[in-house]
Amino acid sequence: MSGLEAVIGLEIHVQLATRTKMFCGCELSFGDHANVHTCPICLAHPGTLPVTNERAVIYGLRIAAALGCEVAPRSIFHRKNYFYPDSPKAYQISQYDFPLAGPGELGGIRVHRAHLEEDAAKLIHVGESGRIHGSGASLVDFNRGGTPLVEIVTEPDLRSAAEAREWAQLLRATLRQLDVSNVNMEEGSLRVDANVSVRPEGSGELGTKSELKNMNSFRFLERGIEAELERQRELIAAGEEVQQETLHFDPSDGSLTPLRSKEYSHDYRYFPEPDLVPMVPTEEMLEEARRDLPEPPAARRERYVSELGVSEGAAATLAFEPAYGEYFERAMGAPGGGSAAATAIWVTGELVGSLRQADAEEEPLASKATPEAVRALAGLVEEKKISNGAGKQVLAALVAEGGDPAAIVERDGLGQISGSGELEAIVDRAIEAEPEAADEVRKGNPKAIGRIVGAVMKESKGRADGDGVQKLILERLGQG
Ligand code: ADP
Ligand code: MG
Ligand code: ZN
């Protein structure tokens, strides 16, 4: 059904990469033996008291700064009460009506708030579950319990599944530069929940939303939202209503399964945590949080496009992939070579591709192809000293063995042939080899030229300039 617009808001949990947990001295660990990083505090033994991890607060403030959020001069921890085996206390220490940071904005999407909380323990389900007589069991690993989290909540400003995915990628790129989290969706250090609803186009009201939980890749996030939007549109087309509920998306078959009917905040009986003092960031903490904040990816992308003339796609890759951004910056610091636009295309296209293919380390700066060399290569192609195809061969050589592009061109005889007698001879041979195609072209059917161009490229090993070759063939066949 058309006429129904998508409305999406995201809730993102970011695991902070501090040394210790949010409220105790236990070390954070990934992949260690279960239940070795625990203590009476994170296991909720009676009589123990939590102490706020200052580093986690500074990391939270750093995230707030990067999202342009207002920092609360005083924020408060609350107990969010619930009963489930992943919480030995039967509540989570979180923030409620006085969060660490208030409204902000990233890439045109409004951030509602960002607050600090602790992660739950990890449940591991083994055997056959869901049956009283089954062999199944749920194991609890308390290593994760008490890990510091920042929860970021957006306003419902996103209007399509693709936009939600792109924004989540922008957020990850922004967070990654801050060095406060591993921001890895597969490993769960970045967890994105999507709130999804539809409404008549042009309506100012919000429809009833459902919430999709924990999709563990950007692709699944987009596909899950896509599937849920379709489900809601079909419901409404059938005259039914969307229920407020929490859904699990299964990427293997695209299904959406209800996890539980949605709880409301009053279900959690929030009350202020009596064992913790309010959080009042000092001037020194704020300063440390803001120190050396890197240029935000959104600003960098914008600058590359508007100031350097880089294409949108290449600018996004350079801005969102710090390693390639750094590589590009170094290339542009080289004394000469291609323009920024051309260099960006070589870095984000051919270099990314061949590094992935080489299945070596994907780190571009560790590659044998230096930034200076790739920029010089971009210049050779731009000045038409070599063809685009020859440029690809030079890049492959740079990745394989390093060196200087001009020297590789010289050594491998990759210099452009155009307008010379050599090219004319090759064109004539190609016309002879493809007599039927040549006749077609003579009769005025220019599409047939492809086969002749192909023959020229093959014989010249990609050293000829494609446009020049086309023109020459047409001339030779009396169509020029
Ligand atoms: P809840 O009380 O269910 O947690 P909130 O108002 O706190 O709801 O919003 C949680 C998230 O859901 C936010 O990201 C918000 O932007 C988003 N959201 C709220 N209402 C809607 C809606 N009708 N459609 C889509 N997203 C929504
Ligand atoms: Mg919520
Ligand atoms: Zn502990």
Identify the DSSP state of 351. I
107 in ligand 1 pocket by Cβ < 6 Å? no
153 in ligand 1 pocket by Cβ < 6 Å? yes
Please report the pLDDT score of residue 457 as a whole number.
87
Q: Which of 414, 413, 353 is nearest to 387 (CA)?
A: 414
Q: Specify the residue with its C-alpha closest to ligand 1, atom 13.
A: 9
Which residue type sits at 348? T
Beta bridge partners of residue 190, listed in sequence order: 14
7 in ligand 1 pocket by Cβ < 6 Å? yes
Identify the DSSP state of 82. -
Q: Which of 99, 100, 225, 97 is nearest to 156 (CA)?
A: 225
Closest ligand 1 atom, residue 244 Cα = 3
Please report the pLDDT score of residue 113 as a whole number.
98
The angle subtended at Cα 309 by Cα 465 and Cα 404, nearest 5°, is 50
Q: Which ligand is nearest to the CA of 39?
A: 3
Cβ–Cβ under 8 Å, residues 210 and 197: yes
The neighbour count for residue 39, using CB atoms within 10 Å, is 14
pLDDT < 70 stretches in the chain: 1-2, 129-134, 262, 358-362, 418-420
Is beta strand 91-95 parallel, antiparallel or unpaired with respect to 77-81? antiparallel
Please report the pLDDT score of residue 479 as a whole number.
80
How many whole angstroms from 149 Cα to the centroid of ligand 3? 15
Please report the pLDDT score of residue 462 as a whole number.
80
Cβ–Cβ under 8 Å, residues 339 and 380: no
Please report the pLDDT score of residue 361 as a whole number.
58
Q: Which of 156, 147, 95 is nearest to 120 (CA)?
A: 147
192 in ligand 1 pocket by Cβ < 6 Å? no
Please report the pLDDT score of residue 248 as a whole number.
93
Please report the pLDDT score of residue 31 as a whole number.
85
